[in-house]
Amino acid sequence: MHGILEYPEAETPAGLRAQVAELRRAAWPGPDFAHDPALRPLSLLLVDDGTVLAALDVLHKELDHAGERWAAAGLSTVVTHPEHRGRGHGSRLVAAARERIDADLGIFTCDRPLAPFYTRSGWVELPGTVLVGGTEASPLASDHPGFDKVTMAGFRSARAIRRRRAFEHSRILLYCGQIDRLW
């Protein structure tokens, strides 16, 4: 088994899922977690001879912005196996995810120092854009004190490409819930 494999998160084969969980624990110590099923998490795994080299999840949600309804998808839990870093595996997977997103746009936040990594993989930084996650009652904005986040995007539909400027220098109310509070 090799190449980029794609599974709904809950249907990822157990052996691959265990490897992904181990990579996540190494990157973000703490309890194992799963994404909110309402966000239709899709796992993309770069695998070579049964070894997960890199993994990420794509989350999906409808959002209202600039007076229009948009199908949005965002990257989450992007991780590369520590022994295989620096070989382009993460970039390859992130670029493949951007191409596979079947939504008007891909949009997510990342720590500012990671923006060049995503830009090299075809994503664009949205200047002055803030994503607001969480819920309406308990929002979590990417400009929260102590965060140093930027918003990255990939415009997929013709309408999103035409309306790209509507996403710049704006607050986008993602409200992705309490489990995946911010992409």
Give domain status of residue 17, yes or no.
yes
Give domain status of residue 180, yes or no.
no
* Strand ordering across the sheet containing 130-134: 139-141, 130-134, 171-173
Give domain status of residue 178, yes or no.
no
Look at 125 and 27; give whichever has higher pLDDT. 125
Give domain status of residue 101, yes or no.
yes
Domain that holds residue 76: 3-173
> Residues 114-170: pLDDT tens digits?
999 999 999 999 999 999 999 999 999 999 999 999 999 999 999 999 999 999 999
What's the pTM value of the predicted model, to 2 decimals?
0.94
Instruction: Output the CA–CA distances (angstroms, integers) from residue 143 to 20, 112, 121, in the order listed.
Output: 29, 11, 24
Quick check: 9 pLDDT over 80? yes
Which CATH number do you get for residue 117?
A: 3.40.630.30
Query: Domain tally for the chain?
Result: 1
